[in-house]
Structure 1
Amino acid sequence: MKFKSTRGGIAGIGFVDSVLMGLADDGGLLVPESIPQVDAGTLKKWQELSYPELALEVFSLYVGDEIPRADLKELVDSSYGTFRDEAVTPVKRIRPDLAVLELFHGPTFAFKDIALQFLGQLYAYISRKTGSVIHILGATSGDTGASAIEGVRGKEGIRICILHPHGKVSEVQELQMTTVDDANVLNLAVEGTFDDCQRIIKELFADVDFKRSYHLRAINSINIARILAQTVYYFYAALQLAKEGEQSAPNFSVPTGNFGDIFAGYLAGRMGLPIGKLILATNENNILESFVQEGVYQPGEFRSTYSPSMDIQVASNFERFLFYLYEEDAEATSSLMATLKTDGRIVIPADKRAAVQNTFAAYGVKNAECLEAIRACHESTGYLLDPHTACGVAASEKLASEGELTVTLATAHPAKFDESIRLVGIGQTYPEPIAALFEKSRHVTRVDGSTEAIKSELLRFF
């Protein structure tokens, strides 16, 4: 398997080099040169696999012989061996027409653990095998930072710096990042929004000389390994439901701000997994809803919401979907991204908009609707949603047809967002690992939102 850039300047590189490159050197995002196909017979066999076994099969399609299968199996087993549920991502039916795919049983109680536990193990493996130094740089709207840090903290040959927007993540999210005191971890609280943090990351990775000189590696979902790891739980959920007797392809309702999680579902569908609707659930930062419904992608005014991990205006994985929407035309993709930079928006023609709507439905959930979804679900089923998952449920209520089964991705444990849960009048008990965070000291540096300020901190750290 080889990988190429959405902008056409990079092609023919292997899996490991793609992981190390992160953002393509031409400024694009890396995608497989061809999407592997999984037939119905293989899907039937995969129904019997455990989550780690399934992950090994999916990863093998993209890794090929670059990593020996025994080594890859060890990486996968180490990545998911610490999850609190044996199923790793259990599917729980809470109504005849609604199931939740619980993605929060990893060490930081968020779906980002699924990909970042694997990516952390992979980076450590590469560092050991090559004797190379790996400097990881990432931005977070809340969950990526803690998951990435947990994946590599204390590992020899690796240093990690995470940017988060000061005052714009939940208290638990901040504590999970900033109470880590390992010497190879640097937390920077940036004045600004997540979009500012993400812009700085892309600017630093686009400086190819700086990236190469300081061995910068990506942990955000611009890294293709993140996307590949996230496709696995779509396969797992659909196959478990089929094994239990579900006859039709389920819808998936996906809370997303950066387009990475739902793009993984899109990729799983392109690989051959039967999927009904892909429901794109956003909050009041609803740029993606506007794109699906109107064909206009235009960042707007940032809004703080009860689902802060989706408080994003510029979706970093959107370019990957544009590339496939335009039938893998790198020139067209480059032109569209250039237009976004110069004009501040992308407008697609009616035929492309129809193609988007054949794949996605989208709904931007208002703050009040989010809280109401938490309250109503708890009252009727006893199941407590975190506010991001609540957006997924609210969107499915609007967009799924009667009688269709929808799987909503439960992206975080509700304890990570107790501020929002309390607004509904629901009390909860923190899991012990989260409760213990409040007794720890914090390690964080506050910086202004300029690329030069971040670069100065990195030069001191690396």
Structure 2
Amino acid sequence: MQYVSTRATPASQPQQFSSILLGGLAPDGGLYLPAAYPQVTGAELDAWRKLPYADLAYEILRKFATDIPDADLKALTAKTYTPAAYRNVREGESAADITPLRVLEQDGDKTLILQALSNGPTLAFKDMAMQLLGNLFEYTLAKEDAELNIFGATSGDTGSAAEYAMRGKKGIRVFMLSPHQKMSAFQSAQMFSLQDPNIFNIAVEGVFDDCQDMVKAVSNDLRFKAMQKIGTVNSINWARVVAQVVYYFRGYLAATTDNGQKVSFTVPSGNFGNICAGHIARMMGLPIDKLVAATNENDVLDEFFRTGVYRVRKSAETYHTSSPSMDISKASNFERFVFDLVGRDPARVGVLFHKVETEGGFDLSGKPGSDGDEWTQVARYGFLSGRSTHKDRVATIRDVQDDYGITIDTHTADGVKVAREHMAPGVPMIVLETALAAKFNETILEALGMDAERPAGFEDIESLPQKFVVMKADVAAMKAYIAANTGL
């Protein structure tokens, strides 16, 4: 399996999985994707239906990580996906299922299903990939007797998932940016309460996009990146995206009995990483009918899938909402889909995303004065979208609790609201859960008049001592901070 950059020049050399594992952006500023998507046969799907999650992960990942010995890869997935690690299940669910499904609604031949992805150590779907990433990093660094300084940004859940996956790992330090005072109290406490010496939390005075821009700026400084051994765990990291592909297969196989059945997925979406994994699964041959992107008030992706216009908002135009992990106005993974949408033409991708940086977006609607008409091809990739507001999510949380006795978090509520708008007869709709409700208790209390239930060990997390620094969105100052704390 060879990987190419979305902005590759003819002189660029394809890379193997291990070569891109520890990095993020390609040297040309693009994102890595397989030169061709591996295909899955009906016979393979049949053979995978009864596999434990760890074995399913191995079968899928071995198609992408062809340069890692099979025995090593199987050991890594077995080490990662255990009931002990994914134990925070709801009543009636089994930790052994890792990502259990629950039918929420059955209205005639329309079915709405919730896929639990938040049973890991930080109670968010990010654990599904990050736990594997931690083990892959440690495995690779040990073979090379090397070090890695992870530099990432989070709007809420990526940071804690990365830090819990990397804490105490030999040869790894984590520098994690987050928007100052724009996460929930629970999310902040999860990150800032970690006292491990290899964890560095930086609260940036700005919004998530400011944090993400700094990660890209540092990644594009190839000299500094090499000297400081910088890697990333944000969803621009290919290994993280491909690990998320696995639960689309698990959701499909658990919701169907034969390969003639199609399903759709609704995915709460801000940075386009999670739903990008669904796009990859569909390109591999998984029988997905629709991929529905559910946004909050920061509706950049919804606007594109409705109109063909990708219009990035400035920091001052980015709303701080009650589903804060989606408070993103520049979807860093969107470039991977656009690469496929424009026929895998890296020169065209380069032009379009140069316009994003210089003019704030591009227009593929095909209207007079637009940049192209590729938006007309979106339908063949199965994408739909919708938008949810604070009023919508409060009402949805209340409705799901009243009708099914399940407390869902604010982002999942956005997903359920939008999913209901796109359900089709005979096609089960699976909503991917974002996090456990306890992480966003402020809104749960507003919606239900009671606190969200917390898993054991998280009862008083906000009262723990916190360790973090506050900094301005200044790339030079950030580089100096990293250098001062690495000793390199």
TM-score, normalised with respect to structure 2: 0.92
CA contact (8 A) 2:185 2:462 kept: no
- State the alpha-carbon separation in 2 of the partners of residues 174 and 21 from structure 1: 26
Tell me the CA shift for residue 274 of structure 1: 0.2
Task: Confirm whether residue 280 of structure 1 aligns to residue 302 of structure 2.
Answer: no
Partner of 2:38: 36
Tell me the CA shift for residue 431 of structure 1: 1.4
What letter is aligned with 2:453? T
Aligned to 2:256, what secondary structure does the other structure show? helix
Task: Confirm whether residue 259 of structure 1 aligns to residue 261 of structure 2.
Answer: no
Partner of 1:3: 3
CA distances 1:39-92 after superposition (whole Å, capped 9, x unpaired) = 11111111121110000001100111x221121112111211221111111111
Task: Confirm whether residue 191 of structure 1 aligns to residue 187 of structure 2.
Answer: no
Partner of 1:88: 98
- State the alpha-carbon separation in 1 of the partners of residues 23 and 483 from structure 2: 20
Partner of 1:231: 245
Task: Confirm whether residue 338 of structure 1 aligns to residue 341 of structure 2.
Answer: no
Task: Confirm whether residue 368 of structure 1 aligns to residue 368 of structure 2.
Answer: no
Residues 49-198 of structure 1: pairs in structure 2 closer than 5 A: 49-64=51-66, 66-81=67-82, 82-84=85-87, 85-96=95-106, 97-198=111-212
Partner of 2:325: 309
What letter is aligned with 1:122? L
- State the alpha-carbon separation in 1 of the partners of residues 255 and 427 from structure 2: 13
Partner of 1:347: 363
Once superposed, which parts of structure 1, at least 4 consecutive aligned residues long, lie more than 3 Å away? none
> 1:270 pairs with 251, 260, 283, which one?
283
- State the alpha-carbon separation in 2 of the partners of residues 430 and 218 from structure 1: 30
Tell me the CA shift for residue 344 of structure 1: 1.1
What letter is aligned with 2:215? I
- Check 1:102–1:426 CA distance in 2 against 1; reply closer, same or farther (3 A cut): farther
Partner of 1:295: 308
- How many residue pairs get aligned? The number is 460
CA contact (8 A) 2:298 2:329 kept: yes
Aligned to 2:289, what secondary structure does the other structure show? coil
CA contact (8 A) 2:7 2:349 kept: yes
Tell me the CA shift for residue 20 of structure 1: 2.0
Q: Percent identity?
A: 38
CA contact (8 A) 1:141 1:310 kept: yes
- State the alpha-carbon separation in 1 of the partners of residues 293 and 204 from structure 2: 28
Residues 392-431 of structure 1: pairs in structure 2 closer than 5 A: 392-402=415-425, 404-427=427-450, 428-431=452-455
- State the alpha-carbon separation in 1 of the partners of residues 454 and 278 from structure 2: 31
Task: Confirm whether residue 202 of structure 1 aligns to residue 225 of structure 2.
Answer: no
Unaligned runs of 5+ in 1: none
CA contact (8 A) 1:94 1:383 kept: no
Q: Looking at secondary structure, tell me which structure has more helix per residue.
A: 1
Tell me the CA shift for residue 155 of structure 1: 1.2
What letter is aligned with 1:43? L
- State the alpha-carbon separation in 2 of the partners of residues 357 and 400 from structure 1: 16
CA contact (8 A) 1:292 1:357 kept: no
Partner of 2:91: none
- State the alpha-carbon separation in 2 of the partners of residues 221 and 44 from structure 1: 30
CA contact (8 A) 2:156 2:187 kept: yes
Aligned to 1:277, what secondary structure does the other structure show? strand
What letter is aligned with 2:99? T
Q: Cα RMSD (Å) of the superposition?
A: 1.3
> 1:452 pairs with 461, 464, 476, which one?
476
Q: Which moved more, 1:430-439 or 1:341-350?
A: 430-439
Partner of 2:406: 383
- Check 1:314–1:276 CA distance in 2 against 1; reply closer, same or farther (3 A cut): same
Tell me the CA shift for residue 246 of structure 1: 9.1
Tell me the CA shift for residue 402 of structure 1: 4.7
- State the alpha-carbon separation in 1 of the partners of residues 137 and 344 from structure 2: 29
- State the alpha-carbon separation in 2 of the partners of residues 434 and 73 from structure 1: 32
- State the alpha-carbon separation in 2 of the partners of residues 400 and 299 from structure 1: 29
Partner of 2:369: none
Aligned to 2:482, what secondary structure does the other structure show? helix
- State the alpha-carbon separation in 2 of the partners of residues 247 and 170 from structure 1: 42
Partner of 2:92: none
Aligned to 1:160, what secondary structure does the other structure show? strand
